[in-house]
């Protein structure tokens, strides 16, 4: 695999994982080849597969909702289900109390923000305020006054998700590339322990 930038490595690994879902999965492959530490030859499909497996395993060892965010943002499947899960998580954790009408608008706000942040990272485009207002059914002229601070709060949490998720997976990419002293299988165990401890960072910087 091309193990240059972490975001590209995540995208490539998730694409590999997507293709292998119907072929027995990656975890079983790792069980037999976990002692291989990094690629010694370029364009070796077996080692590419192993590297992709380690990266996918690292992603799914992270605490929620980081795996869902990385899959949604960098994966090949534009999943509305994952988007809905992330949006609901943001809506209920950041704004727990609201009327029924406001609930719908907050949910539309978080849905738009999740999509907006992904577009900003992947194609360097962002949603205009008018699009947020249209989706929420509110007046665009008064959006900043009524919803601007909430929008910034949501985007800040998503930024934390992305920074934390990419940062942790970057450790795996460096280990596979031989740019750190960490060994992939040891690092994977460490990340799994982090998940099991139940560390939840997603709303700490809202």
pLDDT tens digit string along 167-188? Answer: 999 999 999 888 888 888 888 8
> Is residue 121 in some structural domain?
yes
The pLDDT-based confidence of 35 (bands split at 50, 70, 90) is very low
- Please tell me whether residues 177 and 125 are part of one structural domain: no
* pLDDT the model gives residue 34: 37
Per the model's pLDDT, the better-predicted residue between 183 and 148 turns out to be 148
Helix H, strand E, coil C: the string for 6-55 is: HHHHHHHHHHHHHHHCCCCCCHHHHHHHCCCCCCCCCCCHHHHHHHHHHH
- Please tell me whether residues 98 and 172 are part of one structural domain: no
| Average pLDDT of the residues in 103-113 | 96
Residue 22, pLDDT > 50, answer no
> Is residue 203 in some structural domain?
no
Residue 48, pLDDT > 90, answer no
> Is residue 135 in some structural domain?
yes
Which 3 state secondary structure label does DSSP give 107?
helix
Please answer whether residues 115 and 72 qualify as being in contact, where contact means their C-beta atoms are separated by less than 8 angstroms: no
Share of the chain above pLDDT 70, in %: 77
CB-CB neighbours of 199 under 10 Å: 13
Per the model's pLDDT, the better-predicted residue between 45 and 162 turns out to be 162
Domain assignment of residue 192, given as a range? 6-66+166-197
* pLDDT the model gives residue 18: 66
Per the model's pLDDT, the better-predicted residue between 153 and 79 turns out to be 153
- Please tell me whether residues 98 and 52 are part of one structural domain: no
pLDDT tens digit string along 188-202? Answer: 888 887 766 554 544
The pLDDT-based confidence of 99 (bands split at 50, 70, 90) is confident
> Is residue 206 in some structural domain?
no
> Is residue 186 in some structural domain?
yes
- Stated pTM of the model: 0.80
Number of domains making up the chain = 2
Per the model's pLDDT, the better-predicted residue between 192 and 110 turns out to be 110
* pLDDT the model gives residue 37: 37
The rounded distance, in Å, linking the Cα atoms of 88 and 32 is: 38
Output the average pLDDT for the chain.
82
> Is residue 85 in some structural domain?
yes
- Please tell me whether residues 152 and 94 are part of one structural domain: yes
- Please tell me whether residues 75 and 46 are part of one structural domain: no
Per the model's pLDDT, the better-predicted residue between 182 and 103 turns out to be 103
> Is residue 202 in some structural domain?
no
- Please tell me whether residues 83 and 151 are part of one structural domain: yes
The rounded distance, in Å, linking the Cα atoms of 117 and 120 is: 5
């Amino acid at each position: 695999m091309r193990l240059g930038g972490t975001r590209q490595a995540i995208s490539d690994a998730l694409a590999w994982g997507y293709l292998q879902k119907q072929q027995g999965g990656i975890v079983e492959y790792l069980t037999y080849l976990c002692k291989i530490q990094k690629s010694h030859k370029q364009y070796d499909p077996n080692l590419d597969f192993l590297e992709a497996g380690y990266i996918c395993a690292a992603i799914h060892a992270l605490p929620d909702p980081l795996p869902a965010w990385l899959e949604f943002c960098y994966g090949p499947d534009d999943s509305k289900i994952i988007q809905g899960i992330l949006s609901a998580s943001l809506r209920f954790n950041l704004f727990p109390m609201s009327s029924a009408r406001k609930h719908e608008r907050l949910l539309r706000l978080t849905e738009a923000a999740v999509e907006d942040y992904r577009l900003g990272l992947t194609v360097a485009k962002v949603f205009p305020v008018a699009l947020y207002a249209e989706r929420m059914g509110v007046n665009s002229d008064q959006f900043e006054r009524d919803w601007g601070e909430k929008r910034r709060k949501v985007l800040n949490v998503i930024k934390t998700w992305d920074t934390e998720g990419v940062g942790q997976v970057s450790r795996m990419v460096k280990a596979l590339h031989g740019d750190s002293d960490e060994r992939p299988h040891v690092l994977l165990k460490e990340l799994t322990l982090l998940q099991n401890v139940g560390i939840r960072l997603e709303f700490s910087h809202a």
